[in-house]
Amino acid sequence: MTDEFLVAVKRSAVERNPAVAAAVGGEPATLSYESRAAATAAAREFAADGGPVRLQQVAPQDDTAADAYLVGAARYDDSPPELPAAAGWTFGVGADEYGALGEALLTAGDGVSRPVRQFVAADLAPHEADGDDGPETGDESRSGTITRSETTTRGEGTAADEARRNRQRLAEQLDVTVDASPDPVTVPGESGAWHPDLRIDARHRGTLVATYDCEVKTGEGDVERNQRSVAERVADERNVVIARVLIDDLPETFEVSFHTLGTTPTLPGDGDPGDGSVLAASDQRTLGEW
């Protein structure tokens, strides 16, 4: 006989999902399943029949016989969580979070990701890959000037191989910086403003050779209509780029827990003079316990 897997149904799940409310008689209760897999499947069925709910792990310090909680997981719920911060709070992933994922991937590390560096190098490198020697003085339009003699490496191989080596060498020579909070852009005759997600500056041997205003889109989203007209006008005079980040299996929810080091003042309450002299030991942990 296998052990039961007990799920404590929280009030948030009862209030947000009629099917859950019916299963527990309208009040928080405990449901029993044969296994975690069976409980997970039941949670998905509840979510399909009503409001979003999900299983949440039980915090180690919780005094409960339950193996998991069934909690409401509304996508846009800003109500105060009913569980302590150390237990983990579940939030839905909305448009803002989806967008932030793409931006984070393009600013990872020191603020300039590999895709950004490679794009700039490819944009500024000579064009041998197409069988075109390119201008001896490089691209002198809106992307500055980088001469062929500064980037070409010699060796055996096809023109495409040489072009790849040139781009790699140029990527190593370029000093690329990214401003993740650039100023909005306006143009005469257009109402409103365009707010680029990134502004990318590329310097070669200390000289600014290119600046790109970049809109980042995660998935199949498009530039908002009220910003598109401004961006298109700006593109007539400067480099405008749309970076589309495709991520397989984007999450629908994420969980965050907060753990406090040391002691923190409590809010004034019974027995507290209100002068901050009463301290409560929060869910204290040492760094090693993480």
Neighbouring C-alpha atoms within 13 Å toward the C-beta of 168:
7
Q: Are 180 and 113 in contact (CB under 8 A)?
A: no
* Mean pLDDT in residue range 132-140: 38
The residue behind tokens 């180690």 is 60
Half-sphere exposure of 97 (CA within 13 A, CB side): 12
Model pLDDT for residues 214-269, shown as the tens digit of each residue: 999 887 666 776 678 888 888 888 899 999 888 877 776 788 888 887 665 555 55
Position 86 confidence tier, pLDDT thresholds 50, 70, 90: confident
pLDDT recorded at residue 133: 41
Look at residue 263 in the predicted model and tell me its pLDDT.
61
**Residue 183 — very low, low, confident or very high, per pLDDT cuts 50/70/90?**
very high
* Confidence (pLDDT) at 279: 40
Q: How confident is the model at residue 150 (pLDDT cuts 50, 70, 90)?
A: very low
Q: Which helix (H) or strand (E) holds 11?
A: helix 11-16
- Strand, coil or helix: what is 177? strand
pLDDT at 141: 40
- pLDDT per position as a tens digit, 30-72: 999 999 889 988 988 898 877 778 887 776 656 788 888 888 7
- Mean per-residue pLDDT of the chain: 75
pLDDT value of residue 20: 93
* pLDDT at 130 (0 to 100): 43
Q: Are 86 and 258 in contact (CB under 8 A)?
A: yes
Q: How many CB atoms lie within 10 A of CB 74?
A: 18
Letter string b/e over residues 57-66, b meaning 16 or more CB atoms within 10 A of that residue's CB: ebbeeeeeeb
| Mean pLDDT calculated for residue range 273-290 | 49
pLDDT of residue 243: 92
Instruction: Please name the residue ranges forming H helices in 27-135.
Output: 36-49, 95-106, 114-124
- pLDDT at residue 160 above 70? yes
